[in-house]
Structure 1
Amino acid sequence: MYRNELDKIKEGIHNKLESLSWGDMSIERKADKSIVTEFDIFVSDYIKKVFEESGHNYNFFSEEDQERFEFPVIVLDPIDGTREFAKGYGECAVSMAILYSADIKDERNFGWIYNPFTGFEITSDVKFPLGSRHAHADAINIMISRSEWEKGAYKKDFSKNFRIAPLGSIAFKLGLLAAGACECVISFRDKNIWDIAAGVVICHSRGIYSDEITDLADKKLNGPFIFCRDELKDIVHEEIERLKSS
């Protein structure tokens, strides 16, 4: 699904990366104090152009081009983890969802997460439920935001059977969760729809859900969020509630 468009987008992204002069890359600060680079703008404009030229009649709602959030719509974060990207880290990802409705169970909805540095790519159209984890493990592996970690999440007194790893980009983390690289992703902060739409759709296709997200109807979603394998959900929620009360 959308393979021709995705291959063209990846080619354009790599060509742009090869031409970037990192020392002279344009970086601006937006009103909300977050940063935007020329690469963010390029990816946003280029993806919009690719789908328009392919004849798809979708509305477009990108972090850098908030044209219209009406279904059917392309919801895009052109580079989730811009702060890490600007530093040259690989903890970032292109996060794109094509939503036909707000229903997270709508089989027409499509999600794509792609890390141009590592080549990691995952889509929702490959149905591969992870199922229960049968192998014994000493700890439940949880990924959290690097920025939340730096702002004090590392001070939270998680039980010894939880192993916490900070990683930039919520989209990248959700893609890795759907691929089986961890058991849980937790974010304590609110998210914009472009941050997590693709990740929600992809995780749903792999049988991973968040009780906090029942649909994709709003531009802003209130945290905290817990994305977790079903068989571990009760344990993780109990741990978060314990941390809240401690």
Structure 2
Amino acid sequence: MINHLIPKVGFGWSMRIAAFMILGLLIIANLTVKSRTPPHPQPPITLQEFITPLRERTYALTVAGNFLFTFGLFIPINYIITQAIAGGMQTSLANYLVPILNAASLFGRIIPGILSDKLGRFNIFFVVSSLTAILILALWIPASSNAAIIIFAAFFGFSSGAFISLGPVLVAQISPIQKIGMRQGLLYFMMSIGALTTSPIGGAIMASQNGSYWGVKVFAGVMCAAGSVLVLLARFSGAGFNPRTKF
């Protein structure tokens, strides 16, 4: 939509139109959402309450894994179009890579969630996060044809979508119900650091390699792999080493 709007109404009004569309959808969401339980006002949260969860090994490993994974997650999302164009893909086709990625993400947010209830949230999270790292390192790095990049976009969208939907579920599973909101807020605070800094880091890596995308792809894959390992350690911390345990 934005690609078609910018030539017609300019960048400013394209952004405003997108914002109005989001506003309309949020109004519908806010008018239709309903709390399952009546509100219970809580006393102000102290700094100590943010520090205490980080002393729990399982929670700390979970947050650290999500934090590192975020550094790799946004690299393909932010760079796949420019990388594809640099590799020879037509701009008109490259502009559809992110929509393809997001369309596949829809299924990634639903199917792994269903499986996680049956097989364990941490178990499925580790599978999809590891798959994301493998896709970057084994498919995106060597991809040179249009077909390979499109396939990567679709599969990455599926696996990364699962990461986004399952992250808060992990926190909910290992947290007291009264503290879920605060602990998820702490998780997203940590993830926001990676989300805000990963693109400048990627740009610095590319600049150091004279515009080559190889280094930034390796960085993304390694960060996703490192995050997956930490979440696996969190799973071991919470449920032991038996792979059959549903956790």
User: Higher helix fraction: Structure 1 or Structure 2?
Assistant: 2
* TM value normalised by structure 2: 0.29
* TM value normalised by structure 1: 0.29
Q: Which structure has the greater CA radius of gyration?
A: 2
